[in-house]
């Protein structure tokens, strides 16, 4: 799957997670905003890490060189 | 200070709005009001009597009373501990005991227990003395008989030698014995008990001091005897000393006293001896019963105390804290009411007013309490409403410094970024699962464990259980990305992208594999593990990842400083701090991040070290093969100029503008003083120093700005490099993990022996738990903490506030005085 598709998947998961928290623990607008911020931060962090690892492997400059024994 | 907000407020981002409140409470309802406020726990009292010594305060006698009662309670607890009773855990329901009644009760109990203790001591002493007397009676008789026997035997020998052997002689034996004392020289004797270790010295000194004119016999007592004076079990001997003359007697008595030898009278007559022994035995059994009854009585008394002890303890502590708080209020001139000042959150206004009304009603007071908000320039305490989940993260932030009133709280982002950065350094989903299971145990048994007293380390681990849970969850995620399960990769998300160049795979160990399929969709390709080029690839990846994550977090920090500036309506900070800081950081390190991403996307072979260094050294040179995109040279020159401009932009304008602002304010203030007389007449003059405008020292402000600028500029480089610890720790973790796996587990497996395998598994588990799960967790925790405290928070956090510590009874039960 390509880069964009997986990015969209992350986005969708983030939206679903925020909707779930809104439904499960709806405790007033300020608390909701806090939960939303946390979910967005977590989604962005996770996406960044995945994206970095994915991008670095798209056009590799080094390839795996196996050990002699294998 | 309020600011017009065009977005809704967020929990925990800024401190709750606090207000300074003045309470005027009539004396009769004061005690009750404070007690209810303590239950509510949302009011922090200011000490209005700070200049007074503890003895000058209004309620000093009450506090002394409470102190006395606390002492009595400690005494009772001590007694209970000595008899081995443990006070039962406090049950909240119980008869409401009045403080005065309690004082009387405690006094009674204490007197009773003290009396019982002294009586028991006395009885025990007499008991021991009687025991010793009994021993003397039993053992000394032996001495007498053997001595008399010897004397009589000698006497008869002398008589027989004289030749008079009469048939009647045996019959006369008794008569002889009974008449012996009158024929002999009158000998006095002293009998008693002496400690065995001192007996030789005792004998020697007796001998020396009486010049050998005493006859001394000792009989060993087999079992150790309880000494009446000291109460310990000592090995003793029964001694009998025969002497003649008054002076010898005095000497012997003095020596006995010096050696602590107890003396007991010994009757000569056999009949009397038997009589004494029976008498003493009778007395002994009587005493024993008395002592036993006494102990029983004491035990029942202590048990009845034990049921209510915790409740009394809590009551006394509560009262003491109430009186301490009452001492902080000042007595009004009319002596009819107490005036108190303190901080409370604005949302608690209604609750506090209700509490005060309830206190008025409950104490049947005529006058109600007055609740009045004061206006002040003092800085209020900072209060965040946290729950059991967020409180641990807030404590981590507070450990560095408590947030200034209403500045942005880094705790909000720390909830996610701290476990995330930990996980970047920990990255192994097997270890993550172990950590998660361990912390799940704590969370599931939360209620039970929170009431117990755990050890210091367990207490910390329990307090941070939600932090560790988040850390574990993120570790599972990053473990899946790094593709490490106890250092073993799995092909979970599709096929690996790499394969042999041709079907023979001849060049796999010289030139390597090639990328034949799409990139591995999630995480690091599993084919990398164990290859020769694994480390160069992973190092390059992790170092670049650290830089990217670091630049993003630092940018977040600077953006938070923008929101702070906007909130406090500080335009200076926006234009002369936020903007140049963003420009400087992003033109250098933001540009580096951009280059990294472009290089990855295009697969170019450009050397980024070279590009960055020569951007500074010779920016006008042609880039040649290091060119990544069109117009790169011009962009680099532009960014370099922007960074160079940003530095004096941060440094110079702000001090001059601050000076201008201060002069304007100062000029305007001279006219403002006339208006301030309309303020409330109730305002006390406690706000020393907050009314007067601050002195403005231009040189100080300028130097401060220089320091700030240098810190930022140098910090930009050093902080970015500091993020490379994410790479370093992650490398260490994966190397350790793979060493334990390959060199322990696989080695043990290779022997094909069940015992070696079991030993290998045990060693592997111990090493994993000890080194990786405990030491590495602590290490990664510490480094993630440092990254937050220094690199992230230095961009926007001031942290010089003080925490809101309300008067509350919740924490009182935990102190052990």
Tell me if A63 and B601 make a contact (CB, 8 A cut-off): no
Spell out the domain ranges in chain B: 186-266, 389-502+514-666+698-795
Q: Which helix (H) or strand (E) holds B301?
A: helix B270-328
How confident is residue B501, by pLDDT bands cut at 50, 70 and 90? confident
How far is it, in rounded angstroms, from Cα B486 to Cα B469? 19
pLDDT of residue B560: 94
How confident is residue B200, by pLDDT bands cut at 50, 70 and 90? confident
pLDDT of residue B86: 66
Hey, is the C-beta of B628 within 8 angstroms of any chain A C-beta?
no
C-alpha triplet B245, B246, B250: angle, nearest 5°:
125
- With respect to residue A60, please indicate whether it lies within any of the assigned structural domains: no
Among B477, B545, B548, the residue with its CB nearest the CB of A46 is: B477
Sign of the C-alpha dihedral computed for residues B310, B311, B312 and B314 taken in this order: positive
- Measured from the Cβ of residue A60, the count of other Cβ atoms closer than 10 Å reads 17
- With respect to residue A70, please indicate whether it lies within any of the assigned structural domains: no
How far is it, in rounded angstroms, from Cα B529 to Cα B187? 105
Give the start-end residues of each E strand in B615-703: none
- With respect to residue A9, please indicate whether it lies within any of the assigned structural domains: yes
Q: Count CA within 13 A, CB hemisphere, residue B126.
A: 15
Q: Which of B419, B521, B553, B750 to mutate to test the interface with A (most CBs of A within 10 A)?
A: B521
Residue B162 has pLDDT above 90, yes or no: no
Question: Strand, helix or coil at B454?
Answer: coil
In this prediction, what percent of chain B has a pLDDT beyond 90? 39
Tell me the chain A residues in contact with residue B512 when contact means C-beta distances shorter than 8 Å: 63-66
How far is it, in rounded angstroms, from Cα B441 to Cα B437? 6
Among A34, A52, A63, the residue with its CB nearest the CB of B513 is: A63
Least confident among B209-223, B376-390, B426-440, B471-485: B209-223
Cβ-based burial of B768 (10 A; exposed 0-12, middle 13-18, buried ≥19): buried
pLDDT in tens, B645-680: 999 999 999 999 999 988 888 887 655 555 444 444
- With respect to residue A23, please indicate whether it lies within any of the assigned structural domains: yes
Residue B787 has pLDDT above 90, yes or no: yes
Contact (CB, 8 A) for B561 and B796: yes
- Measured from the Cβ of residue B103, the count of other Cβ atoms closer than 10 Å reads 16
CATH code linked to domain B186-266: 3.30.70.2520
Hey, is the C-beta of B527 within 8 angstroms of any chain A C-beta?
yes
Distance to chain B for A22, nearest Cα, Å: 15
In chain B, whose CA is at the least distance from the CA of A62?
A: B537
Q: Which of B6, B540, B600 to mutate to test the interface with A (most CBs of A within 10 A)?
A: B600
Distance to chain A for B494, nearest Cα, Å: 10
Tell me if A66 and B536 make a contact (CB, 8 A cut-off): no
What are the residues of chain A with a beta carbon less than 8 Å away from any beta carbon of chain B? 1-2, 6, 29-31, 33-34, 37-38, 41-42, 45-46, 48-50, 52-68, 70
Tell me the chain B residues in contact with residue A48 when contact means C-beta distances shorter than 8 Å: 548-549, 552
pLDDT in tens, B21-65: 999 988 888 888 898 999 998 999 988 888 888 888 888 888 888
pLDDT in tens, B273-329: 888 888 888 998 999 999 999 889 888 888 888 888 888 888 888 888 888 888 888
Tell me if A50 and B549 make a contact (CB, 8 A cut-off): no
Q: Please state the rounded mean pLDDT for residues B571-600.
A: 94
Q: Retrieve residue B201's tokens.
A: 């010295």
How far is it, in rounded angstroms, from Cα B298 to Cα B76? 12
User: What value of ipTM does the predicted structure carry?
Assistant: 0.96
Among A30, A46, A67, the residue with its CB nearest the CB of B8 is: A30
Residue B690 has pLDDT above 50, yes or no: no
Tell me the chain A residues in contact with residue B605 when contact means C-beta distances shorter than 8 Å: 61
In chain B, whose CA is at the least distance from the CA of A57?
A: B519
What is the tally of structural domains in chain A? 1
Tell me if A33 and B9 make a contact (CB, 8 A cut-off): yes
Token pair 């009396």 in the structure block, residue: B115
Contact (CB, 8 A) for A41 and B13: no
pLDDT of residue B6: 57
Residue B95 has pLDDT above 90, yes or no: no
Residue B581 has pLDDT above 80, yes or no: yes
pLDDT of residue B91: 55
For B:484-503, CB contacts with A below 8 A are: 497-498
pLDDT of residue B704: 92
Q: What is the mean pLDDT of chain B?
A: 85
Q: Which of B478, B517, B519, B535 to mutate to test the interface with A (most CBs of A within 10 A)?
A: B519
Contact (CB, 8 A) for B399 and B713: no
Q: Which of A63, A67, A69, A70 to mutate to test the interface with B (most CBs of B within 10 A)?
A: A63
pLDDT in tens, B138-153: 877 777 777 677 767 7
C-alpha triplet B289, B291, B295: angle, nearest 5°:
115
Q: Which of A56, A59, A61 to mutate to test the interface with B (most CBs of B within 10 A)?
A: A56
Tell me if B528 and A50 make a contact (CB, 8 A cut-off): no
pLDDT of residue B545: 96
Tell me the chain A residues in contact with residue B514 when contact means C-beta distances shorter than 8 Å: 63
Tell me if B512 and A65 make a contact (CB, 8 A cut-off): yes
pLDDT of residue B273: 80
Give the start-end residues of each E strand in B500-657: 514-515
């Amino acid at each position: 799957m390509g880069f964009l598709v997986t990015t969209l998947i992350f986005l969708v998961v983030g939206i679903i997670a925020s909707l779930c928290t809104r439904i499960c623990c709806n405790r007033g607008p300020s608390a909701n905003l806090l939960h939303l911020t946390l979910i967005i931060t977590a989604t962005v962090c996770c996406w960044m890490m995945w994206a970095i690892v994915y991008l670095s492997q798209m056009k590799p400059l080094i390839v795996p060189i196996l050990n002699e024994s294998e | 200070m309020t600011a017009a907000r065009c977005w809704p407020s967020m929990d925990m981002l800024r401190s709750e709005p606090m207000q300074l409140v003045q309470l005027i409470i009539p004396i009769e309802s004061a005690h009750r009001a404070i007690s209810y406020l303590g239950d509510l726990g949302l009011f922090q009292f200011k000490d209005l009597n700070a200049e007074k010594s503890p003895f000058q305060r209004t309620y000093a006698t009450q506090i002394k009373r409470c102190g006395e009662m606390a002492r009595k309670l400690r005494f009772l607890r001590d007694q209970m501990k000595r008899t081995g009773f443990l006070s039962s855990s406090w049950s909240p329901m119980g008869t409401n005991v009045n403080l005065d009644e309690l004082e009387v009760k405690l006094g009674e109990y204490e007197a009773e227990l003290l009396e019982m203790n002294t009586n028991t001591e006395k009885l025990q002493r007499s008991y021991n003395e009687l025991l010793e007397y009994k021993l003397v009676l039993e053992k000394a008789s032996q001495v007498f008989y053997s001595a008399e026997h010897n004397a009589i035997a000698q006497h008869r020998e002398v008589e027989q030698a004289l030749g008079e052997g009469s048939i009647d002689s045996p019959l006369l034996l008794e008569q002889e014995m009974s008449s012996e004392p009158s024929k002999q020289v009158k000998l006095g004797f002293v009998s008693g008990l002496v400690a065995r270790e001192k007996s030789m010295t005792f004998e020697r000194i007796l001998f020396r001091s009486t010049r050998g004119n005493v006859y001394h016999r000792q009989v060993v007592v087999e079992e150790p005897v309880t000494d009446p004076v000291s109460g310990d079990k000592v090995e003793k001997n029964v001694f009998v000393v025969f002497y003649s003359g008054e002076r010898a007697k005095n000497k012997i008595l003095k020596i006995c006293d010096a050696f602590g030898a107890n003396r007991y009278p010994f009757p000569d007559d056999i009949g009397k001896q038997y009589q004494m022994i029976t008498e003493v035995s009778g007395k002994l059994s009587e005493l024993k019963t008395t002592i036993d009854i006494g102990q029983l009585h004491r035990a029942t008394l202590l048990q009845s105390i034990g049921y209510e002890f915790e409740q009394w303890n809590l009551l006394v502590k509560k009262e003491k804290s109430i009186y301490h708080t009452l001492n902080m209020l000042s007595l009004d001139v009319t002596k009819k009411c107490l005036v108190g000042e303190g901080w409370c959150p604005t949302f608690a206004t209604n609750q506090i007013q209700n509490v005060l009304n309830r206190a008025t009603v409950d104490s049947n007071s005529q006058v109600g309490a007055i609740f009045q908000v004061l206006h002040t320039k003092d800085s209020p305490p900072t209060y965040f409403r946290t729950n059991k989940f967020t409180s641990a993260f807030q404590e981590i932030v507070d450990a560095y410094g408590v947030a200034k009133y209403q500045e942005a709280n880094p705790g909000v982002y720390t909830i996610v970024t701290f476990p995330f950065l930990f996980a970047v350094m920990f990255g192994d989903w097997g270890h993550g699962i172990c950590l998660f299971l361990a912390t799940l145990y704590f969370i599931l048994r939360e209620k039970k464990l929170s009431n117990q007293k755990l050890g210091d380390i367990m207490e910390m681990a329990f307090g941070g259980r939600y932090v560790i849970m988040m850390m574990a969850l993120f570790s599972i995620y990053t473990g899946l990305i790094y593709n490490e399960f106890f250092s073993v990769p799995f092909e979970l998300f599709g096929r690996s992208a790499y394969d042999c160049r041709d079907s023979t795979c001849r060049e796999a160990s010289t030139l390597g594999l090639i990328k034949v399929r799409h990139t591995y969709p999630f995480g690091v390709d599993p084919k990398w593990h164990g290859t020769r080029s694994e480390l160069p690839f992973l190092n390059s990846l992790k170092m670049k990842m650290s830089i990217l994550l670091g630049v993003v977090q630092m940018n977040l920090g600077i953006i938070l400083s923008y929101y702070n500036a906007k909130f406090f309506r500080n335009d200076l900070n926006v234009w002369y701090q936020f903007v140049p800081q963003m420009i400087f950081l992003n033109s250098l390190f933001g540009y580096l991040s951009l280059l990294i991403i472009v290089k990855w996307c295009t697969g170019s072979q450009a050397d980024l070290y070279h590009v960055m260094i020569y951007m500074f050294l010779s920016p006008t040179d042609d880039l040649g093969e290091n060119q990544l995109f069109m117009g790169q040279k011009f962009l680099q020159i532009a960014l370099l100029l922007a960074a160079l401009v940003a530095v004096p932009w941060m440094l110079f304008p702000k001090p001059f503008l601050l000076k201008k602002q201060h002069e304007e304010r100062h000029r305007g203030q001279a006219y403002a003083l006339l208006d301030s007389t309309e303020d409330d007449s109730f305002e006390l003059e406690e706000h020393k120093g907050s009314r007067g405008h601050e002195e403005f020292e231009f040189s100080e402000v300028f130097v401060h700005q220089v320091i700030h600028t240098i810190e930022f500029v140098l910090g930009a480089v050093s902080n970015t490099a500091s993020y490379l610890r994410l790479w370093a720790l992650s490398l260490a973790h994966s190397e350790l993990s793979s060493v334990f796996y390959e060199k322990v587990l696989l080695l043990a497996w290779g022997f094909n022996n069940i015992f070696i395998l079991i030993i290998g598994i045990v060693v592997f588990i111990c090493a994993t738990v000890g080194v990786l799960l405990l030491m590495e967790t602590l290490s990664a925790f510490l480094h993630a903490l440092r990254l937050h405290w220094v690199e992230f928070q230095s961009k926007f956090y001031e942290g010089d506030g003080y925490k809101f510590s309300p008067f509350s009874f919740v924490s009182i039960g935990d102190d052990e005085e």
